[in-house]
Amino acid sequence: MAVVNGADAVNQSSQKGEPLIIGIGASAGGLEALQQFFQHMPSNSGLSFVVVQHLSPDYRSLMADILGKHTEMKVMQAENEMSIHKNTVYLIPPKNNMTLKGGKLLLTEFVNGTLNHPIDVFFSSLAEEQKDRAIAVVMSGTGSDGTGGIKTVKEHGGLVIVQEPETAKFDGMPRSAINTGLADFVLSPDDIVDEILNFSNYPTIVKTQGEENLFSDEESFTRIYTIMKKVSGIDFTNYKRTTVLRRIERRMVVTHSKSLAEYVNLLEADTEEVRVLVKEILIGVTNFFRDPSFFEKLKYNVIYPIVEHADEKEPIRVWSAGCSTGEEAYSIAILFHEVLEELNAQRDIKIFATDVDTKAIEQAGKGVFSENILDDVSSERLAKYFSKKNEQYHISKEIRRMIIFAPHNMLSDPPFGKLDLISCRNVMIYFQPVLQKSLFAIFHSALKKGGYLFLGKSETAGEYSNVFQVLCGAEKIYVHKGEGKTDEFRPPAFNIPNIQAISPRMVSLPDRNAGSYMPETTYMNFLEGFLPASIVVNGSNNVIHFFGNYSDYISIAPGRATFNLFSIINKDLSLVVSTALNRCRTEQKAVTYTGIVVDCPAGRRVIDLTVSPVSGRGKDDSGLIAVLFVENKKMEIDGVTEKYDVDTTAARRIADLEQELQESQNDLKSTIGELETVNEELQAANEELLTANEELQSSNEELQSVNEELYTVNTEYQQKLDELTMLTNDLSNFLSSTMIGILFVDSDLNIRKFTEYVGREFQLMEHDVGRSFQIFAHSFPEEDIISDSKEVLKNLAPIDREVTSMNGRHYTLRIAPYRTTENSIRGLVITIIDSLGVNAKD
């Protein structure tokens, strides 16, 4: 690899002649974090910043004035189609969503009363516009706005930074972003600045399209692929090289690795970093009903025909390959459920949802999602197929039962077969052509004739049109032609797991693990007088102990080990043992059947069978029964002894089973009746709760949104109030310390404010504020100040002249209009200046 020194590094922002754009999302409590951030950020960084906050539509935002005091950069409220410039901070205006396109900010009004995620909206547009150069920062706030946006940023290879929850005034938004596992950094506002600057000045390893790739160290790449395969079991050799390069470059930036060789050494020493890199390469970003129009086509052009033509006795089989966290699989399941309801049909739907990322599969299996799904799932589907618990949405059990989640490498593990539909979206875009070809070969062998293939909008099967015929070209839906052939398809070699027979001695029963049947003394005391082959079974008819030469009557079958008596006993003894056990448990005494003919491996034998309760002292020994196989020996045991007759025994067993069945049916009827009553009550209560829950949920979302907006407004006003308080203090101190007398009156000549110096000449006290200036005497008997004041109010022309007070002091009197910043007249300012005092100072 050609090494680029830090001194020679070219800022990424200059490569395309445009600045890096940092999108910052904040809500309640975000003002303090933003102030700290911009105080630490240099004003000449060459970067551009777009701040998206939750603002109240009913109040004018003061954010530009407030942030402007914490940075020398220009801070302005964005306007529609405003161009982005370096070293500038752009703020979202109230009542608008903001997106980025063509280097310009575009504004669109959002509808009041609807749940709005302006941070997600901007982050998504930033990712689409800036690709791997996008930087998204999530700061203090409640809710989960920003979480959906950072998924899109990561999908395009961008950088995601989240404020450390401990430093945030409200940690809802940061924690929601962190829980996705997509954050590159979790830092304080000061440290966020340092990482952004490091990213912007990092030497670019993967150059822009058309330029020579600086990654030429094949040896290092071979080592990286080997390390990743060793840790994850996945061979990334035939993944698209540019995708792998950019993910490696991003991790080098995050880990501050100065060269590829240094990063390789880090991978060899840190297994966790290997897992992070693998996850970055396998980044799976998905949404419910991604590309909604595509799923509508899928419903009416694919799912309807599948259901209509399916045999009721045959299951409909669907494979969601590369399902990531499961949203796609659940979307397909919901569509199948809707079609079944609309057609009033009954079908067995089996959706196999697989992914190579085991953690993603674990998350998918839980069926729990954040409130970001509100942007993708309609309110009708949300109410019908989800339930909200603790600010999270849980998929309904009815939908969850349709899906089987499993970790699966589609390129090396055996595929599913006889499939009606395969959905594999946005997976092949990461593969080189050789892997894509293998994948189409797998789909060809897995689909039924007439089955369907559903791809992502950037993928196509056009090269294999003789096997996959276009059904909906724009939506990338294809029909499988089973008779189609192509020489290019070669079935890949799959890893077949080794299945080894498990020895019964190696299997530990739960009862034995718990030590429930270890008291050997109990068994030995009972069996001391019995030498024939015998076994001890528990209440579940599982054998827990063997004695003597039992192999003629008990055989362990190959395969999965089981110790259920009726699975391992000689078939000639099955009926008599079942009858004897039932009588022994019912009558609580030993039962012996004599003269039983048994075909054993060593030949035919005639034996006596004795079944007797085991009386033990341990609390876990109740229900144990000994079964003895006695040959050529008379046993003296108290209890019932009968000659074995197959017909009599069978008749007795049938009668016992009929009685048990009758009792079970009676119990079942009674239980069903009770359950129906309870179910009706629960259903009625559930409907009421659902209605109340929907209303509360809607109100809660609106209140939360309003609360965030009001908190932001309150914070801004509090900052302004502090500034005004300081300004008032400054003005009061100035007026009290000056030798100039100043009197403020309104348009009706009512006193608003005055200095102590002027109060002496006009005999004013503090409690006179608000009273009419006309009722007060003054020290200038020769002056008609009231008439002069009215004249100035009328003509707006100031009056200046020398006046003399009764004590002989000379003053300069000035009466001028009081003008506001909007140039409106709100009264007068009357000033008197002691001429001698001024001359003395001069």
pLDDT at 217: 64
Range list for CATH 3.40.50.150 in the chain = 292-480
Range list for CATH 3.30.450.20 in the chain = 509-644, 738-841
Which residue has 């048990």 as its token pair? 660
Range list for CATH 1.10.155 in the chain = 218-281
Render pLDDT for 617-658 as a digit per residue (tens, 0 to 9).
555 556 889 899 888 777 677 788 888 887 777 777 787 778
The CATH fold assigned to 218-281 is Chemotaxis Receptor Methyltransferase Cher; domain 1 (1.10.155)
pLDDT band at 793 (very low <50, low <70, confident <90, very high): confident
Specify whether domain 509-644 bears CATH 3.40.50.410.
no
CA dihedral 653, 655, 661, 665 (to 10 degrees): -170
| 554: helix, strand or coil | strand
Residue 820, number of CB atoms within 10 A of its CB: 9
Q: How far apart are CA 141 and CA 169, in angstroms?
A: 8
Of the candidates 143, 135, 139, 137, the one whose C-alpha atom is nearest the C-alpha of residue 167 is 139
pLDDT at 135: 92
pLDDT above 90 for 49: yes
| Proportion of the chain above pLDDT 70, given as a percent | 83
pLDDT band at 484 (very low <50, low <70, confident <90, very high): low
Mean pLDDT of 178-185: 86
Q: Which residues contact 814 (CB under 8 A, 6 or more apart)?
A: 798, 799, 800, 829, 830, 831, 832, 833
Q: Which of 13, 45, 48, 54 is catalytic?
A: 54
pLDDT above 50 for 206: no
Long-range interactions of 395-398: CB distance < 8 A, separation 24+: 395/330, 395/367, 395/368, 395/369, 398/337
pLDDT at 776: 79
Residue 628, number of CB atoms within 10 A of its CB: 23
Q: Which residues contact 498 (CB under 8 A, 6 or more apart)?
A: none
- For the ranges 250-254, 295-299, 572-576, 763-767, the maximum mean pLDDT occurs at 295-299
Mean pLDDT of 677-683: 77
Write down the mean pLDDT value for the chain.
80
Tokens read off for 329: 């699989």
> Is the separation of the CB atoms in 536 and 611 below 8 Å?
no
Render pLDDT for 501-535 as a digit per residue (tens, 0 to 9).
323 333 333 343 434 444 455 555 554 445 578 88
pLDDT above 50 for 840: no
Render pLDDT for 361-377 as a digit per residue (tens, 0 to 9).
888 889 988 877 887 88
Render pLDDT for 817-827 as a digit per residue (tens, 0 to 9).
988 877 888 88
Render pLDDT for 569-614 as a digit per residue (tens, 0 to 9).
888 888 888 888 988 888 888 999 888 888 888 788 888 889 998 8
> Is the separation of the CB atoms in 90 and 105 below 8 Å?
yes
- Catalytic, 622? Answer no
Q: Which residues contact 291 (CB under 8 A, 6 or more apart)?
A: 457, 475
* The listed CATH number (3.30.565.10, 3.40.50.150, 3.30.1360.10, 3.10.620.30) that belongs to domain 292-480: 3.40.50.150
> Is the separation of the CB atoms in 138 and 162 below 8 Å?
yes
pLDDT at 514: 38
pLDDT at 699: 58
Q: What Å distances lie between residue 475 and 122, 291, 563, 807, CA to CA?
A: 26, 9, 54, 97
CA atoms within 13 A on the CB side of 64: 14
Q: Which of 117, 124, 145, 778 is catalytic?
A: 145
38 or 219, which is more confident? 38
Q: Give the chain's length.
A: 842
pLDDT band at 564 (very low <50, low <70, confident <90, very high): confident
Render pLDDT for 614-628 as a digit per residue (tens, 0 to 9).
876 555 556 889 899
Q: How far apart are CA 420 and CA 808, in angstroms?
A: 110
**Phi, psi of 456, deg, nearest 5:** -75, 165
Of the candidates 113, 111, 148, 105, the one whose C-alpha atom is nearest the C-alpha of residue 129 is 105
Mean pLDDT of 759-774: 80
CATH says 738-841 is which class? alpha beta
Q: Is 201 exposed, middle or buried (0-12, 13-18, 19+ CB in 10 A)?
A: middle
pLDDT above 50 for 835: yes
**Phi, psi of 289, deg, nearest 5:** 50, 45
Q: Which of 27, 200, 324, 423 is catalytic?
A: 27
Render pLDDT for 413-436 as a digit per residue (tens, 0 to 9).
877 888 999 999 888 888 888 888
- Catalytic, 487? Answer no
- Catalytic, 412? Answer no
pLDDT at 558: 72
CATH says 6-200 is which class? alpha beta
pLDDT band at 497 (very low <50, low <70, confident <90, very high): very low
pLDDT at 562: 81
